[in-house]
Structure 1
Amino acid sequence: MAGNRDRFSTFSTATRLKQLGERTAAHVYRSQSRRQVRRSRLTGRAALLVLVLCTLVVALAYPMRQYVSQRSEIADQQRTADRARKRLDELRDEKARWQDRAYAEQQARRHLHYVRPGETGFTMVDSEAAEHRGTGTATADRPWYSNVWDGIDKADRPAE
């Protein structure tokens, strides 16, 4: 320190202040440049980390979308299979009912107006509904299947 005082004593105060300011400025500049170097390294690392994360997100986005889409399709297919299973059970029950002669006879009597020998069949016609349809009373006295066969016969004849 004593050597520094002797060196400064030969210079004027202005020169000493100037040199002191230059040294201080150099010291501050060096510390700032060190911080900038540290910051730039940290920023580079952060940029690399962000780049890696973005790459992972982009790389995983399509497979994740496919996964979600396929899970949705699987759920739809399972619902469809459940509906088909339920319908199959209903059809098996109906087939079992039709295997019963009493059920088949009941349905024939109900829908086709079949009667057993010795029974008298009655067909109730709503007169308002018959007039509304325009069928008149001539066809209202007959069963529906007779009207169907008459319609087929008329359609089969050539036009007069």
Structure 2
Amino acid sequence: MESAPERWLRNIRLSGFTLTMLGLVILAVVVLAPSLKLLVEQQQEMAALEVEVGEQRDSVDNLEDEVARWSDPAYIEAEARDRLLYVYPGEYSYLVIDGATTATTADGAPISDSIQTTQVDWINSIMGSVLTAGLSTDVADDIVPPVIEDPQ
């Protein structure tokens, strides 16, 4: 006794025309598949490039806005006053840097508000540094700074 799938397969009759059409369909799939893959890749690339073009247009718009701002003399004046601390002649500029704290030296002593003379001979210190750097054949890490004597 035959099963149902066997009977169904036995009833299928393939003519020459059917086999030719089936062959043409398979050939079309084989020939067109690489082209369709290339088409999909190109569509994805075009979408990515369109996004990039949109970002670049936004960047250009921002830069054009900035150029327009810098064309305004009032904006230039405001930026010079803010960034460079420029003032007009006759004006006074006060710069307050965290006025609540008191400044101290490295050892914790308060900084004096009177002018003091230096205790170090800085000219000899600079000349010693120049001579040491120019005449030494040692590596920079091996050079020891000269000892500065206190003039008093």
TM (norm. structure 2) is: 0.52
The aligned counterpart of 1:149 is: none
The aligned counterpart of 1:121 is: 93
Match of 1:90 among 62, 74, 81: 62
**Structure 1 residues 46 and 80: alpha-carbon distance in aligned structure 2, compared to 1, 3 A threshold:** same
Match of 1:103 among 75, 93, 104: 75
SS state at 2:86 partner:
coil
CA distance in structure 2 between the aligned counterparts of 1:39 and 1:85, rounded to whole angstroms: 62
Task: Give 1:78 deviation, angstroms.
Answer: 1.5
The aligned counterpart of 2:41 is: 69
SS state at 1:64 partner:
helix
Task: Give 1:83 deviation, angstroms.
Answer: 1.4
Task: Give 1:91 deviation, angstroms.
Answer: 0.9
* Gapped regions of structure 2 (runs ≥ 5): 1-9, 112-128, 134-144, 146-152
SS state at 2:96 partner:
coil
The aligned counterpart of 2:27 is: 55
Of structures 1 and 2, the one with the larger relative CO (CA 8 A, separation 6+) is 2
Structure whose CA Rg is larger: 1
CA distance in structure 2 between the aligned counterparts of 1:44 and 1:97, rounded to whole angstroms: 78
Identity of aligned residues (%): 33
Equivalenced residue count is 102
SS state at 2:26 partner:
helix
Per-residue CA shift, 1:57-116, capped at 9, x if unaligned? 111111111111111111111121121112112111111111111101101111122222
Per-residue CA shift, 1:107-156, capped at 9, x if unaligned? 11111222222222222323799x9xx9x998xxxxxxxxxxxxxxxxxx
Task: Give 1:39 deviation, angstroms.
Answer: 5.8
Going by fraction, where is helix more abundant, 1 or 2?
A: 1
SS state at 1:115 partner:
coil
CA distance in structure 1 between the aligned counterparts of 2:31 and 2:94, rounded to whole angstroms: 77
TM (norm. structure 1) is: 0.50
CA distance in structure 2 between the aligned counterparts of 1:108 and 1:120, rounded to whole angstroms: 15
CA distance in structure 2 between the aligned counterparts of 1:101 and 1:72, rounded to whole angstroms: 46
* Gapped regions of structure 1 (runs ≥ 5): 1-35, 139-156
Superposed structure 1 runs of 4+ greater than 6 Å apart: none
SS state at 1:124 partner:
coil
